[in-house]
Amino acid sequence: MEILDGKKVSNQIKEEIAAEVAKMRERGEKVPHLAAVIVGNDGASLTYVGSKVRSCEKVGFESTLVQLPSTTSEQELLNKIEELNEDDDIDGFIVQLPLPEQINTQRVLLAVDPDKDVDGFHPTNFGKMALDMSTFIPATPFGILELLERYKVETKGKHTVVIGRSHIVGRPMSILMGRKGWPGNSTVTLTHSHTKNITQIISQADIVISALGVPNFLKAEMVKDDAVIIDVGITRVPDDTKEKGYYITGDVDFENVSKKASYITPVPGGVGPMTIAMLLKNTLLARERHRSQK
């Protein structure tokens, strides 16, 4: 069994990006600039955005954090997005989810300029991805592809079972794993809460990508020997014995499933760090694209 070490690979990617940015500076070019918009003060979101800003500094990007109060109206947020769309200095930006209930998330994501949508959530980018066209791939699926590629995990002709159909992970992952090329060329089954015989389907999988958000859902008896296990789930489970009052776990019963797997991602330290690394990669791609358009 081999651990798919997202922490190690994400650091490699950041070093590669930092080297690229250093060359840009030497040539006197503008370096990539990523902005993040956060509405309200959700603890997990603040932590996540904070680590994105620190990662920008690490690779030599410029970064801007736009923090708005939880009482911000939908129109105020749309106005801010329009500002960012029109600001030539900013190559890409993200709107941190979830948003407060008074704001329509769909409307906000649609307002982002597809050329600056480094999260890859805009329907234009999602559609291009589905058609195998060059575009921004959502950061988490992009990170999973990169892990599979760097560890040379064979996907051609394999049966991939994706658990969960969210627009952020499950659905794009099912499209990407079935595309021509590598990683891809696998036969994909997309499962969800209404799937009958889900255990039986999972037991036939060569590759399982679980993005359900249910702690320890995937048990050892559900997977076949030598399966490749990608755990996208990350849940805080309350635990008074821990200093923080909780521990973090994924969708997979790691201790037992790892004994049967050929490759497996840990939680934390697997898919999570890759998401931020690929967001940076998308921002670098955005800068290169904007430069070539001029």
Output the known binding site: 164-166, 234
Which of the residues 14, 80, 91, 96 is marked catalytic? 96
Count CB atoms within 10 A of the CB of residue 134. Answer: 9
**Angle between helix 123-130 and 170-178 (nearest 10):** 30
Which segments are annotated as binding site for NADP(+)? 164-166, 234
**How far is it, in rounded angstroms, from Cα 280 to Cα 45?**
17
Which of the residues 52, 116, 158, 281 is marked catalytic? 52
Is 96 an annotated catalytic residue? yes
Rg (CA), the chain: 19
Q: b vs e for 212-240, b when ≥16 Cβ sit within 10 Å of the residue's Cβ?
A: bbebbbbeeebbeeebbbbbbbbbeeeee
**How far is it, in rounded angstroms, from Cα 158 to Cα 114?**
33
**How far is it, in rounded angstroms, from Cα 217 to Cα 118?**
31
**How far is it, in rounded angstroms, from Cα 38 to Cα 149?**
32
Is 119 an annotated catalytic residue? yes
**Angle between helix 139-150 and 6-26 (nearest 10):** 100
Which of the residues 5, 91, 119, 206 is marked catalytic? 119
Contact yes or no for 149/13 (Cβ under 8 A): no
Contact yes or no for 122/110 (Cβ under 8 A): yes
In degrees and rounded to multiples of 5, residue 114 shows phi and psi of -55, -30
Catalytic site residues?
A: 52, 96, 119
